[in-house]
Structure 1
């Protein structure tokens, strides 16, 4: 692709840091050179930023494939519903509407990739919309099996399960599910690393289960899944005890690690390189990225929020779309 990829950006919660970090990131020359942005958000909120006043303006109903930086006005929130640091129920509905508008644009081929600013699961749910996260919404919208990948400069960590209670994780781990995820991970990363990626599979129980002494998941699910995946030409290894693996980060032996549950994967990913780790959804027909942080209501409007994670997410979206 010789022209800049068109990246659809959902603005996130207007009471959080999403609007300001998006504006700051899009003002950087290296970001402007890499992509053509279409920002889905709130008209009055976007009007606060001089950058967006220079953009073409449209609505979801009149949106065409962009040929210049564009604002797609999805909502016109009242002032009381867009107060910085004080989320409102209308804002909860609005941030979900931006996601849906961006998804529809992607499905119609009007954008080449998606980058989602942070939302609040709590506020969207309080607005009466069942919401467990972007990943789940995207999987349903596109009818695809997907995988969440934390893509950092030092480690890549994918998640076998996402936003589920710990009590339910073991039930969700099946041989078939893990084999499919390992195949998806291998297929998705092969163009990135230039060869079949070496995948480390984390154990579920402490000490990789100690041969069944500390749990049966490694014996009955993980090991059979790894063996089956290897027969399908996936370079998978494990189960590996998580407590020791990430201590090897300077000489990390794997291109990517598949973690069994959310915090097992995200704690090391965020601890090792929080600002530059990008949340990537694998398995979709278009790339989707997101900065690896939340709405940060306490920082909204203070000028203290870093735009580095948003910059990294936008550049990653453009890179994946171009590839």
Structure 2
């Protein structure tokens, strides 16, 4: 399926809050490159939450209005919201620092507060370093977990690509902890959230493939009990609640049929089980979407890439796709406080 690049109509652009990520990574340069494209400019009004001096490296941001988190109002034109003013040594490309770790977390929080206040319609988060934030003394497992806590919602991570959509039953947790998190109640809630979120996109109750946890779907309990005790009961209960769920399915063979994929979305049991096929099939255009929030949130599917930061080699396509999807998920003229984020094709 080819990616769509259509944009919201002129004059009806949603406001998208963009957290800059680690200023020592590629976040600033891919954000600047993406926002310089006419099709992105036509699609949204950007508010970039980041570091003032770091953004001054890019001529584009010199044309933007300026604000701080305290003075920011709902903007009608592109805006830089200056959250930090880091010293030169704290914002060098490819050289992450403790202060930079604190700063990237501050950008996320400022963007969240703007969303709560209705000043932005959607969020797009540039890549951060979990290690860098944690080393700065801030417990951090990922954007998804921070957003869930900030909005008090149960959420679901969805990797939304041109060829497959893959959601994650568990996110950034050690693999050894996954089995205890796979409860029937949790899986049923996730399947229902997937079904309600995707139904408007696909035009029917989405057909959901549910992956197994163990090899060969557990072989009836011979290779593990998770399928017998949790996954199969959850599928049966969800189906009784009108969710079109199928499985458990062995992951090793499912994604080999991607050209004639039998499911609208797949629920994977753990992080790498879902992200490896999603990234392998279309790394550039797969967008991380958080389901269950009152505002849409998207993110490009890559990290900080310190090794190429500041060298002009970073690919902005993932950021372009994430921004366009954020714009598409946030139709203007609707309250951000009550809207549920729904994924769609870019």
TM-score where L is the length of structure 1: 0.99
Counterpart in the other structure of 1:312: 321
Per-residue deviation, 1:311: 0.1
The whole-number CA distance in structure 2 between the counterparts of 1:38 and 1:235 is 39
| Higher normalized helix content (fraction of residues) | 1
Residue from 250, 257, 263 that aligns with 2:266: 257
Match of 1:173 among 157, 170, 182: 182
Structure 2 residue aligned with 1:182 = 191
2:84 equivalent in structure 1: 75
Query: Which of 274, 282, 294 lines up with 2:291 in the alignment?
Result: 282
Describe the SS at the equivalent of 1:74: strand
Report the CA distance between 1:3 and its aligned residue: 1.3
Query: Pairwise mapping of residues 144-223 of structure 1 onto structure 2 (< 5 A)?
Result: 144-223=153-232
Does residue 63 of the first structure (1) align with residue 63 of the second (2)?
no
Alignment partner, residue 124 of structure 1: 133
Alignment-derived partner of residue 273 in structure 1: 282
Deviations 1:135-176 (A, max 9, x none): 000000000000000000000000000000011000000000
Q: Within 2, Cα distance between the matches of 1:62 and 1:302?
A: 34
Q: How big is the shift at 1:187?
A: 0.6
Paired residue for 1:235, among 232, 244, 247?
244
How far apart, CA to CA, are the structure 2 residues paired with 1:58 and 1:215? 55
CA–CA distance in 2 between the matches of 1:191 and 1:60? Answer: 35
Alignment partner of 2:92: what SS?
coil
2:145 matched residue in structure 1: 136
- Measured against aligned partners, the alpha-carbon deviations of 1:267-321 in whole angstroms (never above 9, x if no partner) come to 0000000000000000000000000000000010111110000000000000111
Q: Secondary structure at the match of 1:298?
A: coil
- The CA distance in 2 between the partners of 1:173 and 1:203, in whole Å, is 11
Q: 2:42 aligns with which of 29, 33, 36?
A: 33
Q: How large is the Cα RMSD of the aligned pairs? A: 0.8
**2:311 pairs with 293, 302, 310, which one?**
302
In 1, Cα distance between equivalents of 2:45 and 2:204: 30
Structure-2-length-normalised TM-score: 0.93
Deviation, structure 1 residue 191: 1.1
* CA–CA separation in structure 2 for the residues paired with 1:214 and 1:144: 34
Q: Secondary structure at the match of 1:228?
A: helix
Question: Runs of 4 or more off by more than 6 Å in structure 1?
Answer: none
Secondary structure of the residue aligned to 1:299 is coil
Cα separation, 2, equivalents of 1:195 and 1:26: 34
1:68-107 aligned at under 5 Å gives the runs 68-107=77-116
Deviations 1:94-134 (A, max 9, x none): 00000000000000000000000000000000000000000
